[in-house]
């Protein structure tokens, strides 16, 4: 069966510091991968998605970037964190081309101070 991992689970970072969140999927190949952010009391907002290695599409211009160095690895990064980057970050995967259901990881809680 497929599983999705995210780490760290919780992160507290000072403003201006770099960020690297990692997401990996097991038990499948060539998944579509997604990064979402959830602000307090709100639904999820799609940040990035990837349909293959090295292929990244950005939904929202911001202080963040994403990379996909391996088929089942998706990384969310920032060079300098802002206070507004605080939130809950969820990684998700779907089985591939036009497969509609997305399955979510456990998430990372990021607090920027």
Partner 1 sequence: AQTVTQSQPEMSVQEAETVTLSCTYDTSESDYYLFWYKQPPSRQMILVIRQEAYKQQNATENRFSVNFQKAAKSFSLKISDSQLGDAAMYFCAYRSLGMGSNSGYALNFGKGTSLLVTP
**Sites of contact with partner 1 (CB under 8 A):** 32, 34, 36, 38, 41-46, 49, 57, 59, 88, 90, 92, 97-98, 100-107, 109
CB of 40 to partner 1, least distance (A): 11
**Which among 86, 83, 84, 48 is positioned nearest to 67, based on CA atoms?**
48
For residue 100, the minimal CB distance to partner 1 (Å) is: 4
- Residue 32: closest CA among 17, 52, 14: 52
Of 90, 98, 102, whose CA–CA distance to 45 is shortest? Answer: 90
Q: How far is the CB of 49 from partner 1 (least distance, A)?
A: 5
């Amino acid at each position: 069966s497929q599983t999705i991992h995210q780490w760290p689970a919780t992160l507290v970072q000072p403003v201006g510091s770099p960020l690297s969140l990692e997401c990996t999927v097991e038990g499948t190949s060539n998944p579509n991968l997604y990064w979402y952010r959830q602000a307090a009391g709100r639904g999820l907002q799609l940040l990035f998605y990837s349909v293959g290695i090295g292929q990244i599409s950005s939904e929202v211009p911001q202080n963040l970037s994403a990379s996909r160095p391996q088929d089942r690895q998706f990384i969310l990064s920032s060079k300098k964190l802002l206070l507004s980057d605080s939130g809950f970050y969820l990684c998700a995967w779907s089985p591939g081309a036009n497969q509609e259901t997305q399955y979510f990881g456990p998430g990372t809680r990021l607090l920027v101070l």
